[in-house]
Structure 1
Amino acid sequence: MKTICLYFEIHQILHLKRYRFFDIGTDHYYYDDYENERSTIDITERSYMPALNALLDMIKANGDYFKVAFSLSGVGVEQLEMHAPQVLEKLQELNNTGCVEFLAEPYSHGLSSLVNEDGFDEEVKRQCSKMNEYFGQYPKVLRNSSLIYSDDIGLKVSQMGFKGMLTEGAKHVLGWKSPHYLYTSELAPNLKLLLRDINLSDDISLRFSNKDWSGYPLFADTYINRIAGLPQEEQVVNIFMELSALGIAQPLSSNILEFFKALPACAKAKNITFSTPTEICENVKAVDSLNVPDTLSWIDEERDVSSWLGNPMQREAFNKLYSVADRVRIANDPRINQDWDYLQASNNFRFMTTKPAVVGVDRGIYSSPFDAFTNYMNILGDFINRVNNLYSTDIDNDELEGLLTTIKNQGDEIEMKDKEISRLQAKIEKIETESDKFREQVEVKCTTKKETPKKSVAKKETIKKSVAKKSATKKVGEEPVTNSSKE
């Protein structure tokens, strides 16, 4: 039986402000608050809320037959918290249906998996904690930024304890193989791989409203018939896209939501089900391992990382940023950590691309890739100075980590001693309270003993009088024994 795995990504670009060379060292705030608020509200009204309401209606209409998965970057969640909390509330309402799964991904929606394993691990754990905080789910399946994957990344993800991972069904990786099966990682056989069907996904997210496309107009029954027409043994159809495709890339006027609402009924008629990624990992048997020595993604025709690291400007900015990755992690300064998340976001490098692409790049305030590079490097210069000013650069990373570990251990020891002192103080207070009670009892007994002799004397006098009275009565009424014996 065929099953559809429908997944949506939610990430909100954090826009940097115009930052000039002379701002370095004097201005440590890097963000365009107005644009961040405007863009978040705009995408919420035009895409997120209408799309989420439609998906909720689909669940209500179809019960637990229809299922869907989401992943949210931590940076995206922070923007929604500030400017569009109704999106998070709607996602919680969807979660309460029991038909939604939330996946793991890097908190920053960055590229740490390519260069810094410790940072990648830490980011994913923070995002998982965020998903657990909002939805009561601790993710079991991971989706890396832009579906970035390689054998080495798969091994790391498996070591982190995940059951499965989403990635791209790229032709240069699959060769003659089909993306409609479940695979395993070459270096980690326990990690299941769900591969995106490029054509079926892009027909919706990229081409749906394109009147020049040969498949236009696309109807739900036609779409489902294509899936039903796949070979019988090809059971898993993974349709992955950004949620913003519904309303932004494909405007609501194109009837994209009506198309989606019709999918469950058409699928049920063809005996096709819907499943979450974890359900597929648990219920479907993998057919083979997938060998991916080079990194792939879901961006551009090449399906690699050249959109972020394809030219010298991008690589210089990337290498400069991650040159302080370990130092940032070791220092663990709250304000530095927040800026670190925002500066890692992959769109910062995407704005510098010089590649022609099918999907155009909206560079925002930047007039060119070089303009984006210059602005980012100015900000990065200030950021790195702040990182280095936390601790002397004469101390290397290993020495700094050892020093901070010692300080942390001392802090933990002081905390333990403080707890022990509090415990002992409580014990002393308890002993003093018991001592006061005991003292009161002793005083009461002593007072009682002082009054007892007076009562005893009075009692003795009473007894004496009683004995004397009895003795006198006896002498008057009785004959002496001696007289009786003489007669």
Structure 2
Amino acid sequence: MKSVCLYFQIHQPFRYRKYRFFDIGNDHYYYDDYANETILRKVANNCYLPANKVLLEQLKKHKGKFKVALSISGIALEQFELYAPEVLHSFQELAETGYVEFLSETYSHSLVSLFDGESFEKQVKDHDDKIEAYFGQRPSVFRNTEMIYSDEIGDRVYKMGFKAMLTEGAKHVLGWKSPNFLYCNAINPRLKVLMRNYKLSDDISFRFSNKAWNEYPLTAEKFLKWMSELDKNEEMVNLFMDYETFGEHQTADSGILNFLKSLPETILKNGSFTFDTPSEIIEKYQPISAVHVPHPISWADEERDLSAWLGNELQEEAFGKLYDLKERMLRCFDPVMIKDWNYLQISDHFYYMCTKFFSDGEVHKYFNPYASPYEAFINYMNVLSDFRIRLNALVPESDIDREIAALKEVIDEKDDRLSKAEDEVKTLKNKLKEAKGAVLPKVEKKKTTGKTKTKSKSAK
């Protein structure tokens, strides 16, 4: 019997407001609260709540025969806390069934694994602490941001204590090999690697509602038929996709939620497949070989590389300037600065700067709140410039920065005194105005006789 590993990613970024050049140094709040709440509520109503309801029904109905894996970024969890606590509760209900495995990832859904190992490990720990606090599980399987993977990243992930890692079954990596087997890391074979079957996964996540697709409409029975036609020696089918597929990217009127509801029962009735979580997969099967990935891959676009985030000069400039601040951020303990630092690292900011408007252009436009990649770059760099000014005040970089920070402190102190003086002047003016408007009491004049006294001669 083949294993079906069903995994969903859940992530929503904190979006920035239009932050202008003249805001730098003057306004330190960067976020578009209205857009963040509106979008989160919309996705919650379209996807998270109805899809979680379907999953909960199916998990309870099949009593351990149907299982799924989820990863939720720390940033998404924060938004659930702020805007939709009922969504967080619905995920906790899924966890309570005992049939859901929560995977690890970076807290900020960031690209930090490409830059710095120490910061990478800290973000993963922060994420796993939050997952354990909410869902009572300490993840043992890792799924990197956008399924970014390389031999070196995999080796580090194993040394961090993880047993397995998920990634893309990229054709240029696998060649003639199939993603429907378990593999291991080329540097450290003890790390198991599960590879996504992108053909079958994308049939659901991208092509489901496409009426021009020659396989439209897609039903659970048709999907089962495709899986049944796989080579009988293949051991698993890894279906990895964005959770927003169900109700948001593919709207409810397309029938996607009904598909999600009927898929488990249709597959289980066949008798040739079982549903297994990633942790169960690595216990059930042995790797057939190592997978060699010297250069990082991802699940994005046709290229399956990093070009969606680091494919042009704008992205590289922004990425470089951001992580230039890393050493000083290690010495910064201000909670507001740390929060803003985490949000600056969200991979979506770099995705918005992508200039790939050909093969995957429509996908990039769908997720992009900016009119152009250049506008996204300018807005991000304005925010980063203000953040750097604040960081310089707390953790100066050089003698010049220390001098600037000291002068800024003097200026801020003078501004504070001036503000207080202005308030005092305003108060005194108000009191004077009140005094002038008051009615003065009448003073009675003493009557005189009309005679004047003359001085004596002796006084002359």
TM-score (normalised: structure 1): 0.80
**1:391 shift after superposition:** 2.1
2:383 maps to 1:379: yes
Counterpart code for 1:11: H
Aligned equivalent of 2:84:
84
Q: Could you say what secondary structure the match of 1:372 adopts?
A: helix
**1:364 shift after superposition:** 5.0
Gaps of 5+ in 2: 401-460
Q: Could you say what secondary structure the match of 2:364 adopts?
A: coil
Contact 2:331 2:395 in 1 (8 A): no
Aligned equivalent of 1:207:
207
Contact 2:107 2:124 in 1 (8 A): yes
Contact 1:155 1:185 in 2 (8 A): yes
2:295 maps to 1:291: no
How do 1:105-116 and structure 2 match up within 5 A?
Answer: 105-116=105-116
How many angstroms apart in 2 are the aligned matches of 1:21 and 1:251? Answer: 39
Aligned equivalent of 1:20:
20
Contact 1:7 1:241 in 2 (8 A): yes
Aligned equivalent of 2:277:
276
Aligned equivalent of 1:175:
175
How many angstroms apart in 2 are the aligned matches of 1:361 and 1:367? Answer: 9
**C-alpha RMSD of the superposition:** 1.3
**1:333 shift after superposition:** 2.4
Q: Could you say what secondary structure the match of 1:331 adopts?
A: coil
**Cα offsets for 1:288-307 (capped at 9, x unmatched):** 10000011001100000001
How many angstroms apart in 1 are the aligned matches of 2:88 and 2:367? Answer: 27
Q: Could you say what secondary structure the match of 2:64 adopts?
A: helix
**1:363 shift after superposition:** 5.8
Aligned equivalent of 2:11:
11
Counterpart code for 1:200: L
**1:219 shift after superposition:** 1.1
How many angstroms apart in 2 are the aligned matches of 1:287 and 1:122? Answer: 32
Q: Could you say what secondary structure the match of 2:63 adopts?
A: helix
How many angstroms apart in 2 are the aligned matches of 1:355 and 1:262? Answer: 36
Counterpart code for 1:147: M
**1:123 shift after superposition:** 0.3
Distance change >3 Å, CA 301–CA 364, structure 1 → 2: closer
How many angstroms apart in 1 are the aligned matches of 2:264 and 2:380? Answer: 45
Contact 2:111 2:145 in 1 (8 A): yes
How many angstroms apart in 1 are the aligned matches of 2:10 and 2:264? Answer: 22
**Cα offsets for 1:447-470 (capped at 9, x unmatched):** xxxxxxxxxxxxxxxxxxxxxxxx
2:231 maps to 1:227: no
Counterpart code for 1:388: N
Aligned equivalent of 1:367:
371
Counterpart code for 1:237: V
Counterpart code for 1:333: D
**1:270 shift after superposition:** 2.5
**Cα offsets for 1:5-32 (capped at 9, x unmatched):** 0011110121101111111111111100
**1:62 shift after superposition:** 1.0
TM-score (normalised: structure 2): 0.84
Larger radius of gyration: 1
Q: Could you say what secondary structure the match of 2:366 adopts?
A: coil
Contact 2:311 2:354 in 1 (8 A): yes
**1:254 shift after superposition:** 1.0
2:318 maps to 1:320: no
Contact 2:352 2:364 in 1 (8 A): no
Counterpart code for 1:306: S
How many angstroms apart in 2 are the aligned matches of 1:184 and 1:362? Answer: 35
How many angstroms apart in 2 are the aligned matches of 1:255 and 1:215? Answer: 15
Distance change >3 Å, CA 365–CA 8, structure 1 → 2: closer
Aligned equivalent of 2:193:
193
Quick one: percent identity of the two aligned structures? 49
Gaps of 5+ in 1: 397-487
Contact 2:183 2:193 in 1 (8 A): yes
How many angstroms apart in 2 are the aligned matches of 1:238 and 1:326? Answer: 39
Aligned equivalent of 1:454:
none
Count of aligned pairs: 396
Contact 2:142 2:162 in 1 (8 A): yes
**Cα offsets for 1:45-82 (capped at 9, x unmatched):** 01110111011111122110000010010011000110
How do 1:27-38 and structure 2 match up within 5 A?
Answer: 27-38=27-38
Please say which of residues 264-273 and 365-374 is displaced more in the overlay. 264-273
How many angstroms apart in 2 are the aligned matches of 1:11 and 1:220? Answer: 26
Contact 1:228 1:270 in 2 (8 A): no
2:78 maps to 1:74: no
